[in-house]
A and B are shown apart, each in its own frame.
Chain A
Amino acid sequence: MIGVGAETWLILCIALPFTLAVAAYVVGPRANLYVAWLAGLAIPLASAGLCYGVVTEGAIRYAVGGWDQPLGIALHADVLSGLMVLLSAVVGLVTCLYGHRYLGGADDASSRSYWPLWLMLWGALNALFLAGDAFNVYVTLELVTLASVGLVAMTGKAVSVRASFRYLILALAGSLAYLLGVALLYAQHGVLDLVMLGEQLGTDWASVAACAAVTVGLILKAALFPMHFWLPAAHGSAPAPVSAVLSALVVKASFYLVLRYWLDVFPASVTDVGSFVLSGLGAAAIIWGSVQALRTPRLKLLVAYSTVAQLGYLFLVLPLLRDAAQRDAVVTGLICLALAHGLAKAGAFMAAGAMQRVAGDDGMHGLRGVSVSTPVAVFAFALAGISLMGLPPAGGFGAKWVLLDASIASDNWLIAAIMLAGGLLAAGYIFRFIRVAFHTEEFAGSVVTRHRTLEWSAMALALAALLMGFLVEPISIWVANAGAAGTTQLAEVVP
């Protein structure tokens, strides 16, 4: 990393996937293998470089095209966005391997559209995490939507086309609500830069209305409880590598924006009522999602409902951000939970995909005794489940520990209780599948077909989720450092 500045990595993180996406489209499926390897190596390298730079040197800003504020568009990278980029890099790297194996090198319609769309999605996600401008965020949100809708519809099956249409319409409505909020912000303050907006917003009704519009738009896209209905259909009907990316990264992108706005732009405009409403919806999501996951007859739907539940945690603890003493701890917990869930969920979907390959179907009944033919995938699923349940030493455990600590320290016992109950429910639906998988005497599929790459990709992600627990400590230090740097910067500006 010597000689190359963090700014270069920042640009490469966005430019590389888009360039490769266009190249993959132009060259066609002949070059799939090379595209997969090139993307899988180069983009994570750039992301790691960026993350390293952000952690060692602090937040960076880059004025695109040399145009300065307020006219220019800035790219902004700090610890939060750096770690999200890193998460996409890890999940993306494994998805490249898995996707290449899952779709095969065959020259069919789905493998032709997979690589351009997936790389486009990767680039759009990175651009979203690094955007420092409210309108640029809108554009990247739409890019993410269009690419993910394309990926869901890729197989051309009637179920997935219908699911993707519903997903598209709702996502468009969400983006428009977000844009409405941005319009209100601009009409009032005349700037779009997120940092500059944060310095100007107050508690007046227009700021609160803008905050509400932005938040409602984003939670529609993040599939928070009453607006979650599109998610299981879309995530459950997509091919496994696509579901993994959608559940691990795409919904996380909307959550990242909620967090970014609540931390940097709206800290003054968020009302107590608003944050407790979101928290209540989060609690409802945990319960409802888990109960649905306990009832659904298909494995991939189970994993998708588990996403609804896990997203609930992220919103459940938002009121704790209002307590200044707990802010750093809550931010750490939220980042860790988002990362751990991203890794574990991608692993779980990939494991489900590998089992589906063997059993020919992802119905719970067809998967009886699947541990005979895909032992590694079942093990990976269980390891990912450990993180979802929040058992030590997994990332989910560390994150929930930090959040529990914060909620008890600020006397929010109800939040702590719901988090613990959610862990129990998660254990319920994970074990529900594990039990089915070990009915070995009833196994109907063939034992011969092994999908080593598929199984071990899932395993790698599940292990990463497990080892994430050891990253909680460093992340809390980085967040604290960044917070301290932020306050000194502000202190310099004020006099």
Chain B
Amino acid sequence: MLYAFGGVALVCLGLYGLVALEHMLRRILAVNVMGTGVFLILIASAARAEGAPDPVPHAMVLTGIVVAVSATALAVALACRVAEQEQEGRPEGEVKP
């Protein structure tokens, strides 16, 4: 139960970061914090009153981590591209967001 509440806290923290932060890297981290919170809730749900824990949530979290890693990689690659373009000065077609 403690872990589940920890997970909820992480989700809220990540969501706040996502809304409040401007910097790209920080926003990527915020999404990751949020994801970790969801994974923690899933893991907490695997615990049972008696006997071995339920393996299915573990499999889901593993898959979820793989998805999160690839999504983070793509996000970081895009952030790098944006940073490069900003260093090269104002490229063509740039509009103020």
A residues in contact (CB < 8 Å) with B: 135, 138-139, 142, 145-146, 149-150, 153, 156-159, 161-162, 164-165, 168-169, 172-173, 176, 179-180, 183-184, 186-187, 190, 192
Contact = CB atoms under 8 A, between A and B. Distances in A.
A162 B35 CA distance: 22
B78 A176 contact: no
Contacts of B15: 173
B82 A161 contact: yes
Contacts of B63: 135, 139
A142 B68 CA distance: 9
B95 A165 contact: no
Given A158-B82, A176-B35, 7 more contacts: A150-B74, A153-B78, A156-B81, A158-B93, A176-B34, A183-B41, A183-B45
B67 interface: yes
A14 B85 CA distance: 37
Contacts of B79: 165
Contacts of A135: 60, 63
B38 A180 contact: yes
Contacts of A165: 24, 75, 78-79, 82
Nearest to B71: A172
Nearest to B90: A158
Interface in B21-51: 24, 27-28, 31, 34-35, 38, 41-42, 44-45
A472 to B, nearest CB: 38
A201 B4 CA distance: 21
B93 A169 contact: no
A85 to B, nearest CB: 23
A162 B97 contact: yes
Contact of A168 (B11, B67, B78, B85): B78
Nearest to A191: B56
B84 to A, nearest CB: 10
A162 B63 CA distance: 28
B57 A146 contact: no
Contacts, number: 86
A168 B28 CA distance: 10
B78 to A, nearest CB: 4
Contacts of B93: 157-159
Contacts of B34: 173, 176
A402 B57 CA distance: 43
Nearest to A168: B75
Contacts of A183: 38, 41-42, 45, 57
A180 to B, nearest CB: 5
Contact of B18 (A150, A157, A161, A169): A169
Contact of A186 (B31, B35, B56, B71): B56
Contact of A158 (B11, B42, B64, B85): B85
A169 B28 contact: yes
Contacts of A180: 11, 38, 41
Nearest to A149: B74
A489 B97 CA distance: 53
Nearest to A188: B45
Contacts of B24: 165
A192 to B, nearest CB: 8
Contacts of A162: 82, 97
A180 B42 CA distance: 8
Contact of A161 (B11, B28, B35, B81): B81
A157 B78 CA distance: 11
Nearest to B79: A165
Contact of B64 (A173, A179, A190): A179
A186 B42 contact: yes
A201 B78 CA distance: 41
A118 to B, nearest CB: 16
A349 to B, nearest CB: 19
Interface in B51-82: 54, 56-57, 60, 63-64, 67, 70-71, 74-75, 78-79, 81-82
14 contacts: A135-B63, A142-B67, A146-B70, A158-B85, A159-B93, A168-B78, A169-B31, A169-B75, A173-B34, A179-B64, A180-B41, A186-B45, A186-B56, A192-B56
A169 B18 CA distance: 8
Contacts of B85: 158, 161
Contacts of A145: 71
